[in-house]
Amino acid sequence: MTAPTIMPRRTQARKADMAARTRRRGRRGPLWYLGYLLLLVWTLITIVPFLSMLLLSLHPTADIYAHPLGFDGRWTLSNYASAWRGTVGGAPLSTYIVNSLLITLCSLAIGVICGGLAGYGLARATRRLSGAVSRIMVLALSIPLVVTLIPTFELLGRYHLLNSVLGISLVYAAFITPTIALIMRSVFAAVPRELLEAAKIDGCGEFAALLRIVLPVSKGGFISVSMLGLIFVWSEVQFGVVLLTRPQNRTLSVGLLSFQGQFVSDQGAFFAGLAMATFPIVILFLIFQRYVTSGITLGALK
């Protein structure tokens, strides 16, 4: 008796849903189609550089100058082998990749831990104190990074931290910590206070409640800030050029500049190395895109 009554209800629900969708489509005005067109144009603008980079990485340098779009000319895979070997007087690409991985891991470890603790402190502090410290962090983020370049160079030189993984990792961690703290403050503020009060009743202290209750429910926020920090550290060039002068200590983004010399440049190898450096980050970003988007939204709203 129940099956014949359930099926018509489901059919009616589907028909009602389809009718609602039809009505919504009918109400779409010119502005909706204009916005959709702008989104398509923006998507093409963001995709074309990656496709162009991939095409140019498959052409010799002479053909790149002759056909800048990369659709014509000879096709070759030797650029990737040249990029992997590196330039004369420089280090191979594998050395740059290892340096970038070490610096990225150290920077993220320091920045996420310090920024997470700072964000938790801001979330648990009074509204006046949290607002004042947050404004100071936002003011610090508004300062251009190039302004701090010379003081940072002098400070690392004084403590003999130039051309070292620890030195530049501390610099990158210092730059990403305020952003991580602001985003994690919003993430921690969304945790129900009832959970923390229940943890205190069970005998957990502040730090134990953070480890056992807050961190497990905030893993999405940590993935978000880790991805944002990864993108910044992996692609940063200004400080890497100044603070890492030895070829064997350079990061991947700085090492790629060696393919563009003052008199001779290997554009094919440069684009090949750029492709090898870019696409792993793009793939990671696509995998964790929803966490990054939610983290940016929380940081903007709170």
Q: Which residues pair with 265 in a beta bridge?
A: 260
pTM, entire model = 0.81
Q: At what angle do helices 30-56 and 267-287 cross, to 10 degrees?
A: 130
- Nearest CA-CA partner of 250 in 170, 168, 171: 168
Q: DSSP for the chain?
A: -HHHHHHHHHHHHHHHHHHHHHHHHHT--HHHHHHHHHHHHHHHHHHHHHHHHHHHTTS-HHHHHH-TTSSSS---SHHHHHHHH--TTS--HHHHHHHHHHHHHHHHHHHHHHHHHHHHHHHHS-HHHHHHHHHHHHHHHTS-GGGGHHHHHHHHHHTT-TT-HHHHHHHHHHHHHHHHHHHHHHHHHTS-HHHHHHHHHTT--HHHHIIIIIHHHTHHHHHHHHHHHHHHHHH--HHHHHH--SGGG--HHHHGGGGB-SS-B-HHHHHHHHHHHHHHHHHHHHHTHHHHHHHHHHHHH-
* CA distance linking residue 158 with residue 171, whole number of Å: 14
What average pLDDT does the structure give for the chain?
Answer: 83
86: left (phi over 0), alpha (psi -120 to 50) or beta: left
Q: Nearest-CA neighbor of 136 among 174, 173, 171, 178?
A: 178
* pLDDT on residue 296: 57
Residue 165, judged by CB atoms within 10 A of its CB (0-12, 13-18, 19+), counts as middle
Q: pLDDT: is 275 or 206 the higher one?
A: 275
CA distance 291 to 112: 15
pLDDT for 301: 45
**pLDDT given for residue 106 in this prediction:** 95
Q: Is the pLDDT of residue 137 over 80?
A: yes
Per-residue confidence at 71, pLDDT binned at 50, 70, 90? Answer: confident
| Average pLDDT rounded to a whole number, residues 257-266 | 76
**273, 256 contact by CB (below 8 A):** yes
Across 3-12, 26-35, 58-67, 233-242, the highest mean pLDDT is recorded for 233-242
Going by pLDDT thresholds of 50, 70 and 90, the confidence category of residue 107 is very high
Above 50 in pLDDT, residue 1? no
Q: In whole angstroms, give the CA distance from residue 222 to residue 228.
A: 10
CA dist 141 and 31 (Å) reads 36
Q: How confident is the model at residue 18 (pLDDT cuts 50, 70, 90)?
A: low
